[in-house]
Amino acid sequence: MNEFVYLFHSQPPSGTPEQIQKMMQKWLAWRQGLIDQGHFKDGRPLERSAKFAKGWQKLVTDGPHAETKELVGGYMLIEAKDIQQAVELSLGCPILEGDGTVEVRPVLKLF
């Protein structure tokens, strides 16, 4: 099995508390399915605030910036046999019911 990272990109959540709760239940069910199938290794939501370190000057700024339309809202580390299976598993993600995206990235094996 190979490791892959899902990076979840979306607008900040909106809606009524009931709608947000319903979406959270979908996320938990999808995550539990990945656990039950032996694919889930780790994952968490991320806070909206960020710091950016940039370039040789090591300039540190706050973020996300106003021009940022989508936030990276969280990540998940999964195991799959190949990228095709990792992408197929990502298609069940509730973020895809809206305008969000799941970025699927293979984890580089260094050793």
The pLDDT assigned to 64 comes to: 64
Query: Domains of the chain: which residue ranges?
Result: 2-47+61-106
Q: Which residue has the higher pLDDT, 102 or 54?
A: 102
AA identity, residue 14? S
pLDDT higher than threshold 90 for residue 15:
no
Q: How confident is the model at residue 50 (pLDDT cuts 50, 70, 90)?
A: confident
pLDDT score at 68: 59
Report whether the peptide linkage leading into residue 12 is cis, meaning its omega lies within 30 degrees of zero. no
* For range 3-16, the mean pLDDT: 90
pLDDT at 105 over 60: yes
**0.85 exceeded by the pTM?**
yes
* pLDDT for the residue numbered 83: 98
Q: Which one of 3.30.70.20, 1.10.10.10, 3.40.50.970, 3.30.70.1060 gives the CATH number of domain 2-47+61-106?
A: 3.30.70.1060
The pLDDT, as a whole number, for residue 66 is: 53
CB distance 10 to 71 below 8 Å: yes
Considering only CA atoms, which of 15, 20, 17, 18 is closest in space to residue 94?
A: 20
Query: Greater confidence, 1 or 67?
Result: 1
Looking at residue 61, its pLDDT comes to 86
